Structure 1
């Protein structure tokens, strides 16, 4: 679609080829209506028209202007150009001159002029112009008294020709634009699902691999001294791997639900294996699934950063809630802001930035930065019953890394 939301001729042709459905009629569909001028053409050859050279020139000029205006009317850029309105005005001058000068069959040029107006004009200007043409055609027919049809029939035909032409073209163009919009929405849905899937896999694998590496290192250190403890770490690695496979399957199907309690349990295990002492304190009312999922991702992101960057020895998780809002605070005693390369001012790096945007969509907030006593502090606040995101999975994670 063009920048103004309208379809170009090339796009309309492509859509018709792709779908095999009728689109807006082309300008050639309006050319057969020029046969209405055969009566005037016949009068010229039969010598019934005074000054036949003037009449012939007028007939040639009218047909040329009609074809030019109709073809320009099917291209939006040309239809709205000043030259098109100049040609339409010249066509109106020729029509009035021939109708007043010759009457009879020449009055049938009024419906043709109306039809050309229907291809160019829209909305209020179209109604005003068609009404003026209909009244003028009726008045000239009454004044001349030699119209090929009754004045009222001529007036009605003049008005309805332009109105129906404009209505058909507008409706057809709207249908084509709706088809293009539907295709665009389908492409957007596919892109959104790809983005969700890539984010989920990135976060799931990043966190899981970090835990596996930490536990593998712990098992290697423990093996020479305590084989049972080392085997326990290996069992944890197996459990983490199986859980990762389950989460990846759920991510593929799009039905993965996060759990704050589950993430806190995993955080304890990962931090303990990394030699970091965890502590958890939780209070407050039960949380909605969307809130649980979002806070679970905050815990996962915070733990991943603590294990990767902080060199901390302790990490505390505190969940406080009231009937309206809940707050999660994650505090470590590590290197603070220096633990994350190139942090984003005020909210950390890309991972925490993505979480900030996601929580803001759900009516919450996220702050992250050095703590007053050192270390790094991540604070998330959400409504107890946080709404899900309208066009995305509320449990879908942002990109990893501070």
Structure 2
């Protein structure tokens, strides 16, 4: 009976051990699965954020990914190279252990301070950082020169801190100095075996400096790309506001003039008033089409169409239009730019000048085109807000190598003069 009891106990203990092993194995598998699930969740979150940034037209933010760029915490694990020195102190193999412990404390404090200051440019370039690096070099030389052995491994840590702090042209001479000192001190203890310390010191400093410089360059390029994207958005906003100002200013002026004409003639000639109303409807429909085209970015201001609209608008306002054209056919881009000038100048003449006559003269050669629009009014045509009207036209033409001058004409009235290269493509895209 006793044997059966013992056998039963043995079987029970064995079963308990087996269940414990299975439980431990299961817990380990669960922890591994949790880590994989957490990593997958972080990747999915990062990818979702990058899709959202792409949908908003922003540049990718590679620094926010699961791995991220290097930082001060990535340089702290290298302090484990000093575990051999700590072991020597614990086992009583180091003379004057309190001096060694104090040296380790000072070394670790200076190293942590330097690596955290290395990732902030103002702090990295401060005089205090250079003093900390000098103190770290002095402590390293004192400990390695006094104890040797595992304490020589602090030289590669000194090289790593040097590579993290010193950048640019100063890096090479400083690293050669640190490596030479490491070679001399290690050579006194290890002889030719000190080559490993020399190699480790030089390589740790140069590789650290290269990696951190590359990370900074990538960050600066990313910031530059984002700034260029913002500048492109600003340019597009400016183009769109300019187009809307030119389109709506001209169209609404024509509608106002024709509405006034319809109101004046309606009591005595209803048919003529209805003709003006039909013109208003046509102008409104054309304006809707032009605005849709401007929104989609495909609109080109045709010079011939703008001249026809200018004649109609001036005539409706009681201003006699006179148009003179000479020279060879114009390239589409040049004609589009001059079409904007005709539209704005005619609109200003209708709205501000109070003129009775407006002359539009276009003279072109193989190399250059000149457009002059003169009215005999007295309105302050040039007093448009900054960034709108004639100011916007001046920007358009300047982007294509042209000029726009405005001011009083010699015999009274107001004059707008636009000059452009016959082919402004070399000067930029002035239509937008």
TM over 0.5: yes
Q: 1:365 aligns with which of 385, 403, 411?
A: 403
Deviation of 1:388 after TM superposition, in Å, equals: 7.0
Which whole-Å CA distance do the structure 1 matches of 2:218 and 2:66 have between them? 11
Match of 2:245 in 1: 202
Which whole-Å CA distance do the structure 2 matches of 1:380 and 1:236 have between them? 30
Which whole-Å CA distance do the structure 1 matches of 2:151 and 2:387 have between them? 77
1:106-163 Cα distance to aligned partner (Å, 9 max, x none):
111100000111110112222222222222222222222379xx21111111111111
Which whole-Å CA distance do the structure 1 matches of 2:311 and 2:361 have between them? 13
Match of 1:232 in 2: 275
Match of 1:71 in 2: 116
Match of 1:218 in 2: 261
Match of 1:138 in 2: 183
Match of 1:355 in 2: 393
Between 1:352-361 and 1:84-93, the stretch displaced more is: 352-361
Deviation of 1:198 after TM superposition, in Å, equals: 2.3
Question: Looking at CA atoms only, which structure, 1 or 2, has the larger radius of gyration?
Answer: 2
Match of 2:380 in 1: 339
> Structure 1: which 5+ residue stretches go unaligned?
1-14, 397-402
Matches within 5 A, 1:276-287: 276-287=319-330
Which whole-Å CA distance do the structure 1 matches of 2:207 and 2:380 have between them? 70
Q: 1:46 aligns with which of 82, 91, 94?
A: 91
Match of 2:304 in 1: 261
Judging by fraction of residues, say which structure has more helix.
2
3-state SS of paired residue (2:425): coil
Q: 2:331 aligns with which of 288, 295, 305?
A: 288
The 1:389–1:216 alpha-carbon spacing in structure 2 relative to 1, beyond 3 Å, is farther
Which whole-Å CA distance do the structure 2 matches of 1:18 and 1:140 have between them? 40
1:74-106 Cα distance to aligned partner (Å, 9 max, x none):
222211111010000000011111122221111
3-state SS of paired residue (2:359): strand
| Equivalent pair of 2:111/2:136 in contact (CA under 8 Å) | yes
Root mean square deviation, CA, Å: 2.3
| Equivalent pair of 1:23/1:172 in contact (CA under 8 Å) | no
| Equivalent pair of 2:245/2:388 in contact (CA under 8 Å) | no
Between 1:210-219 and 1:107-116, the stretch displaced more is: 210-219
Q: 2:170 aligns with which of 117, 120, 125?
A: 125
The 1:145–1:21 alpha-carbon spacing in structure 2 relative to 1, beyond 3 Å, is closer
1:145-186 Cα distance to aligned partner (Å, 9 max, x none):
379xx2111111111111111122222222233333333333
Which whole-Å CA distance do the structure 2 matches of 1:63 and 1:324 have between them? 73
Match of 2:421 in 1: 383
Q: Which has the higher contact order (CA 8 A, sep 6+)?
A: 1
Using structure 1 for the length normalisation, give the TM-score.
0.86
Which whole-Å CA distance do the structure 2 matches of 1:343 and 1:316 have between them? 21
| Equivalent pair of 2:246/2:340 in contact (CA under 8 Å) | no
Which whole-Å CA distance do the structure 1 matches of 2:120 and 2:141 have between them? 27
3-state SS of paired residue (2:416): strand
Say if 2:431 is the partner of 1:395. Answer: yes
1:230-267 Cα distance to aligned partner (Å, 9 max, x none):
33222221221111111101100101111111111101
Q: 2:294 aligns with which of 245, 251, 276?
A: 251
Between 1:128-137 and 1:271-280, the stretch displaced more is: 128-137
1:194-233 Cα distance to aligned partner (Å, 9 max, x none):
3322221222111101001111112222333333333322
3-state SS of paired residue (2:94): coil
3-state SS of paired residue (1:387): helix
How many residues of Structure 1 are paired with residues of Structure 2 in the alignment?
A: 373
Q: 2:81 aligns with which of 17, 36, 39?
A: 36
3-state SS of paired residue (2:417): strand
Which whole-Å CA distance do the structure 2 matches of 1:227 and 1:18 have between them? 72
| Equivalent pair of 1:290/1:388 in contact (CA under 8 Å) | no
Deviation of 1:16 after TM superposition, in Å, equals: 6.7
The 1:224–1:360 alpha-carbon spacing in structure 2 relative to 1, beyond 3 Å, is same
Match of 2:55 in 1: none
Which whole-Å CA distance do the structure 2 matches of 1:202 and 1:256 have between them? 14
Using structure 2 for the length normalisation, give the TM-score.
0.81
Match of 1:97 in 2: 142
Which whole-Å CA distance do the structure 2 matches of 1:74 and 1:362 have between them? 44
